[in-house]
Structure 1
Amino acid sequence: MSKIMNMSKAAIAALGMTTCITAAAVADMPEKPNGFPNRPVTLLIGWGAGGGVDQVARQLAVQFEKITGQPLVVINKPGGRGTVVLADFMNAASDGYTLMGGSDDLVGQYAAKGINENPFKDWTPIIIPQVTFTQIYRRAEETKFTDWDSFVAYAKANPGNVRLTNSGPAGGAERIMATKLAEVFDIKINQTQFDKASERYGSLLGGHVDVMMEQPGDVNQYIEGGQFVPILSLLNERPDTFADTQSIKDIGANVRPFLKWRAFWAKGDVPDERKKYLEAAFKAAWETEEFQKFNRSKYMHIVKSYYGIDEAVELMEGDLVTFRETLKAMGLLK
C-alpha cells in the first residue's frame, strides 16, 4: 500500500512539474495578435503517417495546443517526394491557419528545378525542430561485409551488383552523398528510392538491398533491437553515441556531409505578427521537457536542433548554394 502511495505521490509530483513548465511557457508567450489563433491550425504533411516529419509534427502538436489553446491538426498528403501537398498549401488562405511540414528535400528539389517555389522566399520557415545526420546501415545478419571497408571491397568484387535504398530524389542530399561516395571509392552503387519508410526498412530486412541510408532517429527501434547496424556516419567526426562507427574523416572521403532537417512553413505573405506568434508558440512547444525527451530518444540532441525563422532562412540559403554547386559538379544541373 505504501509503495502504491509513494508511486502516486511521485506521479503527482511529476505531473505538477510538467504543469508548471507548461504554465511558464504560456506565461512567456506574446499576446495573441488580434486573437490569432482562435480556431484550429492545420499542418499539412507531404509524407505518410509514421515517417520522421509526421512523428515530430504529432509530438509538437500536443505541446502546441497546451501553449496556444488551439489544436494543431496534422493531415498527411504523401506523394511526389513531399511535393503533392504543395497545391493544397499554396491554394490555402494566407492567414496562418494552414502550415506545411517537410524536409531539406524541398530545398534540394528547388535547386534541381523540380519545384517552382523558393522554400525561404515564397514560404517562411517558422521552425526547424529537428536536425540530424545520415548513416549507412547493414542487416545485423549480413555476412558479405561488416563495416565500410569490407563493404567497399565487396562492391569492387561485385561491380554493378550492390544495391542501396534511400528516400532521396535525384537532387536530394542522400542521393548526392551516395553518388559522391561511389565516385570517391570507384564503386558502382545501384540506388533504389522508396517514399514510404516501411518499404525502405522492409527491403533491407528482407535482403532485397545490401545497405540503406537513413537517419538514426527514424530507425532507433531497429538499432536498439539489434536488426540494423550502422557502418558509416556521414559526419566529419564520430558522435559519442556511435563511437564504434566510422565517420567520413575516418574513411578519408572528401564528401560534404549534408545535415538532414525537418521544418514547418507558413506562406510567405502571412502577416508578420502572425508568423512571429507562431514562431514563439513552436519555440515554447519545442522547449518543453516532453518534446525534449522525444528528441533525445530520436538522437536529435547530437547536433543543434532548433532554428527559428531567421536562422532557418540562413540555413536554407546555405543549403541551396551547396545543392546547386554539387548538382552542377555532378552534371545534374546546367
Structure 2
Amino acid sequence: MKRIAALFCLALAASMPAQAAEFPARPLTIIVPAGAGGGGDTTTRMLGRELERIFRKPVTIINQGQGGGVVGLNTLMRARPDGYTVGLLFPYAGYKYVGQADFKAADFTPLGNFNGDSAALLVNSRSRFQSLKEALDAIKADPAAFSVHCSGACGSVWDVPVAAMMLDYGIDVEKVRWVPGQGAAGGLTELSAGGVDFQTASLPEAAALASAGHVRPLAVLSPEPVPGFEAVPLAGQALGKPVDGGTWRALAGPAGMPDDIARAWEQAIAQAVRSETFLQAMSRGNFGVRYLDRQALQALMTQHEDETERVMRALGYAAR
C-alpha cells in the first residue's frame, strides 16, 4: 500500500509543469464564506489539514460569513489570482435573485469538489410537528404564519431544495417568511431557542444539537437513508416520490488563475479526498465525500445556475 501511494505521488509530481512544481513557496489561505462550526467550515478544515500535509505549507482558514456568505465570496472573487488565496464554493446562484450579489461561474476558477450532503428540514424539539407531512399541511394552510431559517443567505444552499419541495406540495412559498443568517450554527441556535419555526441545514450540521435534544429533523431530502442518520425519515415519504436536494462544497480560486497552478490544486484536492485520514474524519462527522475534478465542477456550476434560475423564478423572484 505504501509503495502504491509513493508511486501515485511521484506520478502527480511528474505531471506538474515547472511553475506548478515550485508551488507553493509560501503559506496558503482558504476563505470560508460561513461562520465557524457549520458544515462548510468543518469540512474545509478537514480538507485543509490534508492540504497542509500535501503542500508542506501552512494553510490558514479565514471565516467570512457576513451577509450570508456574500462577504467571503466577494473576498475570494477579488483575491489575487496567484493560487495563494482560494476559497470554499457552494451553491451561490440564489444570491442574484434576492438582490444580494450576482456571482457567476466566470467569476471563479474551479479547482475541485470534495463534499456533497442532502438538505434536511428541522424543528425545535418542542415543536408540535411530529412528521414532515404534518408540517407541510400546516404551512400549506397558512404559509404566512411560519418562518424558515435559511442558514446562510436565502435562495442558496439549503432553502432552495426545501422551497422546491414545498412548491411540489402546493405551498405558496412566497408567503412563507424565509430568514437569512450567517451559517447553520447560528440558525440552529436560533431554532433551539424558538426564534424560528423551521431550519434548513444538513444532518451533520445539526447532529450536536439533535443529540443534545434541542432540535429534531423532520425529514431529509435524500432518495435513500443517509449513512449515520438512517432513522431520519425521507422527504419522499410525504410527497409520494423520491426527493433529492442538497449542497455541494468545492474549492475555487478567483478567475484568471494560471492553468498549471489550478492543476496543482486539483491534484492536491484529489489526493486529499482519497487519503485515509480525510475519509475517516468525514465519516466520523457523517459528511458525504464527493470528488469532482475541475471540468466536472465547471459543469456542475453551470447546471446549478440554470436550475436555481428555474426554481427562483417559480418562487416569484425577479431576475436582476
The separation in 2 between residues aligned to 1:24 and 1:65, in whole angstroms, is 20
1:9 matched residue in structure 2: none
The separation in 1 between residues aligned to 2:198 and 2:179, in whole angstroms, is 10
Cα pair distance change 1:317/1:192, threshold 3 Å = same
Letter in 2 for 1:108: G
2:308 matched residue in structure 1: 323
2:120 matched residue in structure 1: 135
Higher-Rg structure is: 1
Letter in 2 for 1:140: S
The separation in 2 between residues aligned to 1:56 and 1:39, in whole angstroms, is 23
Cα pair distance change 1:115/1:58, threshold 3 Å = same
Letter in 2 for 1:272: D
- Unaligned runs of at least 5 residues, structure 2: none
Cα pair distance change 1:224/1:213, threshold 3 Å = same
Question: Is 1:118–2:104 an aligned residue pair?
Answer: yes
- Note the C-alpha offset of 1:70: 1.4
Which of 190, 193, 208 is equivalent to 1:206?
193
Which of 144, 151, 158 is equivalent to 2:135?
151
The separation in 1 between residues aligned to 2:226 and 2:201, in whole angstroms, is 16
The separation in 2 between residues aligned to 1:168 and 1:86, in whole angstroms, is 12
Aligned length: 312
- Note the C-alpha offset of 1:257: 3.7
- Unaligned runs of at least 5 residues, structure 1: 1-16
The separation in 2 between residues aligned to 1:271 and 1:158, in whole angstroms, is 53
Cα pair distance change 1:224/1:24, threshold 3 Å = farther
Question: Is 1:267–2:254 an aligned residue pair?
Answer: yes
The separation in 1 between residues aligned to 2:51 and 2:62, in whole angstroms, is 15
Moved more, 49-58 or 63-72: 49-58
1:285 matched residue in structure 2: 272
Question: Is 1:29–2:12 an aligned residue pair?
Answer: yes
Q: What is the DSSP-based 3-state SS (H/G/I as helix, E as strand, rest coil) of the residue aligned with 2:296?
A: helix
- Note the C-alpha offset of 1:237: 3.9
Which of 122, 141, 150 is equivalent to 1:166?
150
Identity %: 22
The separation in 2 between residues aligned to 1:102 and 1:283, in whole angstroms, is 16
Q: What is the DSSP-based 3-state SS (H/G/I as helix, E as strand, rest coil) of the residue aligned with 1:125?
A: strand
TM (norm. structure 2) is: 0.84
Q: What is the DSSP-based 3-state SS (H/G/I as helix, E as strand, rest coil) of the residue aligned with 2:35?
A: coil
1:12 matched residue in structure 2: none
Question: Is 1:108–2:91 an aligned residue pair?
Answer: no
Which of 49, 53, 66 is equivalent to 1:62?
49
TM (norm. structure 1) is: 0.81
Moved more, 159-168 or 32-41: 159-168
- Correspondence 1:190-229 to 2 at 5 A: 190-229=177-216
The separation in 1 between residues aligned to 2:143 and 2:254, in whole angstroms, is 47
- Note the C-alpha offset of 1:135: 0.7
Query: Does the aligned pair in 2 maintain the 1:30–1:277 contact within 8 Å?
Result: no
Letter in 2 for 1:45: V
